[in-house]
Amino acid sequence: MRIFLFLMFLCATWGLGSFASSAAETTGAWSQRVQIFYEPATRSIVRKNIRVWDFHPERQLDFLWEPSARQSPNTEISSDGTVNGKGKLIWRVRGSANYDQQTVFSTYVGGMKNGRADGQGRLEIRSGEVWEGNWAGGELNGTGTHLDATGSRFEGQFAAGLPNGNGTLYLTTGEIFEGRFVNGLKDGQGRTILPGGTVYSSSWTLGREELKRRPTPLSDATSGGLIAASSIRGAADKTEIGVSVNQRLNLEAIMAYQTAAGPDAIEVFPERDDIVSAWRGMRKLVANTAGPGEIEWDKVRTFLDIETKSTDRSNLRLKSTRLQVASSEVFRRPMLRVESGSGCVGFRPYFAFLNDGWGGVEDATISFHFVRKAFDAGWQQVTVGEPSPDFSQTIGDFSSGVDVSLEDLFQQLNVNAASLTNERFSCSSHTVMDQCGEKLRAQGIFGEMSDYVWVSVPGMSMNTTLEGSIRYNWTDDSDVVHQEYEPFEVTVQMAALEIPDPLFECGDGAEASPEAMQFQDIKLVPSKSGYSVNLTLKGNKTGPRFVNRLKLWSDTSSITRFRVVSKFADGSERLSKPVIFHYFRPNFSKFTPRQPPSCYLSSNYAPCG
């Protein structure tokens, strides 16, 4: 069963008017301000007068420049204040607070040179437009993508900010064009795939198609094994239906979605790479990294625009529109994360796997080795020396979570667990913590693990890092068993280095989905098939274009297959291209990892761990 298409995400109809004018704009003015920056080399604060190029000074926006971590403002900002290097450039309403996301006009993340976008980067605009790819002088040049405010997307070659050369254009209706572009317009021979699956060679001259080559809507509807849209050649014959994510609300949503068009279907799935990777098991499990809990999932909705419009701009008399659900199933793949404890006591020879998915883990085993870590000049962890021999352990079945103990293994490796459990180890300050760690190592207390134990100055501890993989099975709703493999990394605390009166400060917060009162709320029902949901029609039912705005959700992670059906006053019907909707909602693990029976470390010790 094909779960994710994940072609180059959906692109769509080309809104070239506004794009061409904005991308080709070369006028503007310098905008400048005073900002405070952190200088990592000296660990000090510096005040800088900086400037960037404003392509639209008439909008009277303020900017904020956030350089990437470990970048020095003394080297990346020119003597005249011009911004260079990598970072985030935010334009917002003048005079608004930096924390107010509602006032943000655009956000660019990527390289800068001479105050303009340069190198790899991504620009998001409040309207929902997105540009991503290789930039030069503030314009896309080379390989890139453009998503317009309606959900239309182009992927291919750019020059001077416009599509030039070969590329692929994905329409919200599911139509796909592959071919050549000149200054943003289709030009020359190309390959077109219509929503019904018909494939034909198309010919274009500066955006105008030779229509005599284009198949009729009815012939497209009956091709490729798809069900005919209608046997009545009425209004449906000159109609197309588009399905796209509402870009305005998508930019505000913490859990944004995107669409991808393929020959057979339009797929809708989460946009956040970290969530998708965790959901699909396509990333390394790293202990204590942020899980899905920072989002209020019961409030998350997916905002879709359903557009029914005439192809010749004539008026249509729309009778009804419905969502025709073919099938829906709970996605039962486990969603694992790994946790290890810190603080409370010094020696914590165990960790835990937690499962935020909707299915259980079966026949799990782990294989692993130990490595020694250190911090480089940028305070990033790097591996030092050779790894230990490999070890393995049987985990078995679990649903919400399971503890993994290393106590028996440490005993075999002559780790002095009694001393690590009962003794306390002090250090006078952070500045001599490495020396404190070496002194403790010299006592031989870590046995054969000594070469794999390292000092964490931020954590005030001595740790070992375990690198390995977990293999397991899971069963879907059709009783098909799937085999999985996921690498993982977990740091195990071996000893605490106690310092007088340590002080830390942590942050926390949760965000939810934006309000969208004008959207029709539709709760999908997993494990239910062959049902329809009538879509609300407001206002005049006669016109060239109708838009239904939906907010879809489910109680579980699910995969729902549906089509949009528009019925007209003359009895004809038009079906959209099939849509496969991948909805993500975690099943928060209720498992409580193992904790020490009592604590002796101060509550100020490593409170963020």
What is residue 608's predicted lDDT score, i.e. its pLDDT?
42
Provide the 10 A C-beta neighbour count for residue 607.
Answer: 14
Average pLDDT over residues 490-516: 66
**47 pLDDT exceeds 80?**
yes
What stretch of H or E contains 520?
Answer: strand 520-523
- Residue 406 has phi, psi (to 5 degrees) of -110, 10
**450 pLDDT exceeds 70?**
yes
| Core vs surface per residue 30-64: b (16+ CB within 10 A) or e | ebbeebebeeeeeeeeeebebbbbbbeeeeebbbe
> The tokens 């904020």 sit on which residue?
64
Average pLDDT over residues 89-97: 87
Provide the 10 A C-beta neighbour count for residue 569.
Answer: 14
* Each residue's pLDDT tens digit, 548-601: 999 999 999 999 999 999 999 988 888 998 999 999 999 989 999 999 988 888
What is residue 13's predicted lDDT score, i.e. its pLDDT?
30
| Core vs surface per residue 274-308: b (16+ CB within 10 A) or e | ebbebbbbebebebbeebbeebebeebbbbbbbbb
- The region of weakest confidence among 64-78, 131-145, 344-358, 373-387 is 373-387
- Residue 577 has phi, psi (to 5 degrees) of -65, 145
- The region of weakest confidence among 6-20, 30-44, 344-358, 446-460 is 6-20
What stretch of H or E contains 527?
Answer: none
What is residue 112's predicted lDDT score, i.e. its pLDDT?
94
What is residue 522's predicted lDDT score, i.e. its pLDDT?
94
Average pLDDT over residues 333-345: 89
- Residue 380 has phi, psi (to 5 degrees) of -105, 140
**226 pLDDT exceeds 50?**
no
What is residue 220's predicted lDDT score, i.e. its pLDDT?
56
* Cα 391 from chain centroid (whole Å): 34
Distances (CA, A) of 208 to 114, 205, 444, 560: 38, 5, 79, 37
* Each residue's pLDDT tens digit, 344-402: 899 999 999 999 999 999 999 999 999 998 877 666 778 888 999 999 999 999 999 99
Dihedral Cα 505, 510, 511, 517, nearest 10 deg? -140
